[in-house]
């Protein structure tokens, strides 16, 4: 951390803390960690439980599954590769992902998945970065294509990166590339591309280029045994009972075959603050520069 570690006055955060405590008292969420950095001063709070069944309290160094907050980190890596001339934003993704060639597009985004027309152009890197690729998630789509996503990618965590792309390529696009925005598997595709462009596994590229330089020591795609005691259990709301229940997927006891660039990382509040401060610092934090200021301007 740069600058003073003294705490910001807590009085200004009392309304937020009260709302957070009230939510925790209702059981959703079971707990949280707050870390606010301003002018090199930090306000932090750890509230509630990280493991409900064992009454384990939240701590500032609790490790969380950060889900889609993985996406900005993957996107920053892609921009680093762009700076090095290894790709351009308007490059077709098929340059590194031939599986995505000859896309077909649904005539009706909620219609039959076999009622399609040829895509007018290829998906570009920028399309993937901005979720204008025509791809989707099962929960961001509707109709037959949503069910097709759910079935085709139901067990994608067991796929390797190549298998993931092969499965995704069996699905038609919801829209022509560039036509409109839809939250999607796009950043997962970017993670696969980053590994192929760099010539080594995506996890290794991310660790070498971003996580280790910034000192994000608790950020990875799994939690090793020596850190497992700090992991917050992942819960989901049971739609039938309205009760939070632990998910069966976490914790992971090994690095997954498919390290998801769109949602696979775990991290801590302090680790993610290092990445956020790099972005706030226009590509630099604590003397470590990852991106040029003009590149961060393009991103934001």
Give the whole-number percent of the chain exceeding pLDDT 70.
Answer: 96
- DSSP class of residue 67? G
Number of Cβ within 10 Å of residue 86's Cβ equals 14
pLDDT confidence of residue 5: 46
- Helices and strands (H and E) in the chain: how many: 9, 11
Q: Which two tokens stand for residue 102?
A: 């000859």
How far is 102 from 120, CA to CA, in rounded Å? Answer: 9
Does 50 have pLDDT greater than 80?
yes
Does 252 have pLDDT greater than 90?
no
Q: Is 99 helix (H, G, I), strand (E, B) or coil?
A: helix
How far is 178 from 126, CA to CA, in rounded Å? Answer: 9
- Integer CA distances (angstroms), 82 to 78, 126, 133, 192, 282, in order: 6, 11, 19, 15, 16
Instruction: Name the band, by pLDDT with cuts 50, 70 and 90, for residue 249.
Output: low
pLDDT confidence of residue 251: 60
How far is 19 from 9, CA to CA, in rounded Å? Answer: 18
Instruction: Name the band, by pLDDT with cuts 50, 70 and 90, for residue 38.
Output: confident
Partnered with residue 48 across adjacent β-strands are: 31
Helix (H) or strand (E) holding 145: helix 144-152
Which burial class, exposed, middle or buried, applies to 236 when counting CB atoms under 10 A from its CB (0-12, 13-18, 19+)?
A: exposed
pLDDT confidence of residue 78: 98
Averaged pLDDT for residues 3-14: 65
Averaged pLDDT for residues 146-155: 94
261-289 per-position pLDDT tens digit: 999 999 999 999 999 999 999 999 999 99
Does 250 have pLDDT greater than 80?
no
Does 130 have pLDDT greater than 60?
yes
Averaged pLDDT for residues 194-206: 97
Among residues 291, 290, 128, the alpha carbon closest in space to that of 216 is found at 290
- Integer CA distances (angstroms), 275 to 54, 225, 296, in order: 31, 25, 12
19-36 per-position pLDDT tens digit: 999 999 988 899 999 999
Instruction: Name the band, by pLDDT with cuts 50, 70 and 90, for residue 135.
Output: very high
- Cis upstream peptide for 241 (omega within 30°): no
Among residues 196, 193, 197, 221, the alpha carbon closest in space to that of 207 is found at 221
Does 3 have pLDDT greater than 50?
no
70-95 per-position pLDDT tens digit: 999 999 999 999 999 999 999 999 99
Catalogue the E-assigned strands of 139-258.
Answer: 235-237, 244-246
Among residues 123, 111, 100, 116, the alpha carbon closest in space to that of 170 is found at 100
Among residues 161, 234, 224, 242, the alpha carbon closest in space to that of 194 is found at 161
Among residues 240, 222, 203, the alpha carbon closest in space to that of 74 is found at 203
């Amino acid at each position: 951390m740069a600058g003073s570690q003294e705490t910001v006055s807590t009085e200004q955060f009392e309304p937020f803390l009260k709302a957070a405590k009230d939510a925790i008292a209702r059981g959703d969420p079971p707990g949280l960690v707050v870390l606010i950095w301003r002018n090199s001063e930090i306000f932090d709070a750890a509230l509630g439980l990280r493991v409900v069944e064992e009454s384990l309290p939240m701590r500032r160094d609790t490790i969380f599954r950060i889900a889609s907050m993985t996406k900005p980190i993957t996107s920053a890596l892609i921009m680093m590769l762009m700076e090095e001339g290894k790709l351009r934003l308007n490059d077709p993704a098929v340059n590194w992902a031939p599986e995505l060639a000859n896309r077909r597009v649904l005539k009706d985004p909620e219609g039959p998945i076999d009622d399609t027309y040829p895509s007018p152009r290829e998906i570009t890197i920028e399309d993937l970065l901005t979720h204008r690729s025509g791809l989707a998630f099962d929960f961001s789509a509707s109709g037959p294509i949503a069910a097709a996503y759910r079935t085709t990618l139901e067990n994608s965590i067991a796929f390797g990166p190549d298998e993931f792309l092969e499965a995704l390529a069996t699905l038609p696009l919801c829209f022509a590339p560039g036509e409109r925005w839809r939250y999607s598997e796009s950043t997962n595709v970017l993670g696969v591309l980053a590994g192929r462009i760099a010539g080594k596994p995506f996890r290794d590229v991310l660790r070498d280029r971003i996580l280790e330089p910034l000192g994000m020591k608790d950020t990875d795609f799994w939690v090793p045994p020596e850190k497992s005691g700090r992991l917050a259990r992942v819960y989901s709301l049971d739609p039938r009972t309205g009760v939070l229940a632990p998910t069966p997927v976490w914790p992971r006891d090994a690095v997954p075959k498919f390290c998801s660039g769109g949602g696979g990382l775990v991290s801590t509040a302090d680790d993610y603050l290092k990445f956020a401060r790099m972005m706030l610092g226009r590509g630099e934090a604590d003397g470590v520069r990852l991106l040029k200021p003009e590149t961060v301007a393009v991103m934001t």
